[in-house]
A and B are shown apart, each in its own frame.
Chain A
Amino acid sequence: MDLIRQPWPWYVAGPLIGLIVPALLLLGNKAFGISSSLRHICAACVPANISFFKYDWKKEKWNLFFAAGIIIGGFIATSFLSNPGQVNINTHTTALLQQEGVKDFSGLLPQDIFSFRQLFTLRGFVFMVVGGFLVGFGTRYAGGCTSGHAIMGISSLQWPSLVATSCFMIGGFVMTWFILPYLLEL
């Protein structure tokens, strides 16, 4: 039980995530991918006569159940299987982030950026609202996210997924190294 409560190393978590690929295939020919759930939510709630949202989303309901499961899993892991506290990241990263203006290192996300109070500041708006928008717009434009392209796509040896994953990383590097320091100053 103590082992479960500790943070899991990459060589435990990674292979377990990899096993979701065959599990979904064998449980009903489903391709691992989370960002599609955002499209199904649009199709179910606000289709607005847009052709991209005119399809039978109910046939893809499994994906919404999977997403709901992630929420429940997040709750279970945090409530019963974790020792709460600070994430043990590289001290160099901490030092750099401190230099760039991040103050709170006590939880999963820096609360001086991500909180309801910060939502109405320019910085908070950029990190939560603009950032979220880029995630939703970008994943759909790219045709998938880390699960759909990086894991499912590359696992099935599809080169467009390798291209997409490389672009995820390039976008992330450019943002982190060249733009984020300015955003943190907002």
Chain B
Amino acid sequence: MKNIKFLILGLLFGIILVKSQVISWFRIQEMFRLQAFHMYGIIGSAIVIGIISIQLIKRFQLKTIHGEQTVIPDKTFHWGNVYGGLIFGCGWAITGACPGPLFAQIGSGVLVTIVTLLSAIAGTWIYGLIREKLPH
């Protein structure tokens, strides 16, 4: 079962999300109202550690545990980054959750989030359906 390690990593991520209260609607409100540093500190320090780690991986040309070259796929700009980003931002402020915390909230016992998650899946599906008609 080569996927078990990803399950365990997800499990650790879920624990961090709950323990740092990132999955709280109130924390997201506090962030968007600029009334606490908490969320900015979490996202900011995660990025700093991410940048350092990736630089180290590149500098020392670290390979994966399977001995493969590490590859980081390039993201190319499209206008969806802007339009979709704005739409997601609105959704984030309403639901108080991005996709990771949606899963963690369900695990925490907030079962009504299953509805929010199903709706997010529906949103993704509708995007796939009308993708060609949208500006990118």
A residues whose Cβ falls under 8 Å from a Cβ of B: 4, 7-31, 34-35, 37-39, 41-42, 46, 48, 50, 52-53, 61-63, 65-78, 81-82, 87, 89-90, 92-94, 96-97, 105, 107-110, 114-116, 119, 126-147, 149-161, 163-177, 179-180, 183
Known contacts A34-B99, A114-B110, A139-B84; is-contact A26 B89 (Cβ 8 Å)? no
Chain B residue contacts of A160, Cβ below 8 A: 75-78, 81
Distance, CA A28 to CA B109, complexed state (A): 31
A-B contact count (CB 8 A): 499
**Closest Cβ neighbor of B41 among chain A residues:** A10
Distance, CA A66 to CA B104, complexed state (A): 11
Residue of A53, A169, A174 contacting most chain B CB atoms (<10 Å): A169
Question: Which single member of A23, A31, A97 contacts B73 (CB below 8 Å)?
Answer: A31
B residues whose Cβ falls under 8 Å from a Cβ of A: 2-33, 35-51, 53-54, 56-57, 62, 64-66, 68, 70-78, 80-100, 102-113, 115-129, 131, 134
Chain B residue contacts of A135, Cβ below 8 A: 88, 91-92, 95, 97-99, 102, 116, 120, 123
Known contacts A69-B11, A180-B93; 15 further A-B pairs (Cβ under 8 A): A14-B46, A38-B120, A39-B128, A52-B128, A74-B17, A90-B36, A93-B29, A136-B120, A136-B127, A143-B84, A155-B47, A163-B81, A164-B81, A174-B86, A175-B89
